Amino acid sequence: MSLLQTRALTRHFSGLKAVETVDFDLPEGEVRALIGPNGAGKTTFVSLLCGRIPPTSGQVIFDGRDISALPAHRRINLGMAYTFQITSVFANLPVAENVALAARRREATSAGVARAVADALERVGLGDRGDQNAGDLSYGHQRLLEIAMGLAQAPRLLILDEPTQGLADAEIAAFKALVRELASSTTILLIEHNMSVVMETADRVSVLNFGQILAEGTPAEIRANPAVQAAYLGTA
């Protein structure tokens, strides 16, 4: 069963067709990568899924429910969590408190929050950074902190937009392992330029180009697709 669907999802900006009649299905339990050239509409598409911007037309359906008109915070309450290309941590708060703010969406007790914070930070490799101000972290570690904030909400769907941007090679390797671990309990939509991450972690790949789905398939099928090679992989 699909956890997330879109039907004819469309967003225009003053005549620019950023996303155009996209039909998309993400089954529960799958790791799906979304790739495509710069300007293909990936971030706009994700913003439509999360409720940051409204669609011009079409539907976003989560767990069988039309959520097209719901604001972002209501979608979070339904079990969606996301990180964006631009970090959005609270720079003047400690790392642990950033995660605690997210954990309080689902944990009713201080003990429950503390457990969720400790677990999330440990899973992303920031277990020893809890007392450090978030603004003092490197950019790459801020990205990991955002992922921890998402994990602390125990989401049914975790949307990660360029999560490995700014990470060192060792941190990228750890991120791949984290995605494989999370896949047993969380549906993941991964927007990523690093093709090594895409090919090693995704069950299936969707390719967006000029605001439309160009191709979908397994990593191997996408790598061998001539249209994808011409539009993206051949120049990546």
Q: Which domains does the chain have, with CATH numbers?
A: 1-79+185-236 (3.40.50.300)
Q: Cα–Cα distances in Å, from 100 out to 47, 113, 234?
A: 24, 6, 43
What is the pLDDT at residue 210? 94
State mean pLDDT over 55-63. 97
What is the pLDDT at residue 97? 97
| 161/163 Cα distance (integer angstroms) | 6
Tell whether the model's pLDDT for residue 236 goes beyond 50.
no
**H-run or E-run covering 45:** helix 42-50
Per-residue pLDDT reduced to its tens digit, 167-206: 889 889 999 999 998 888 899 999 999 999 999 999 999 9
State mean pLDDT over 147-163. 92
Per-residue pLDDT reduced to its tens digit, 62-106: 999 999 999 999 999 999 998 865 567 899 999 999 999 999 988
Residue 139 and residue 85 in contact, taking contact as beta carbons nearer than 8 Å:
no
| 34/25 Cα distance (integer angstroms) | 12
* Least confident piece of the model among 81-85, 155-159, 209-213: 81-85
Tell whether the model's pLDDT for residue 147 goes beyond 50.
yes
Look up the pTM and report it. 0.89
What is the pLDDT at residue 121? 96
| 128/124 Cα distance (integer angstroms) | 11
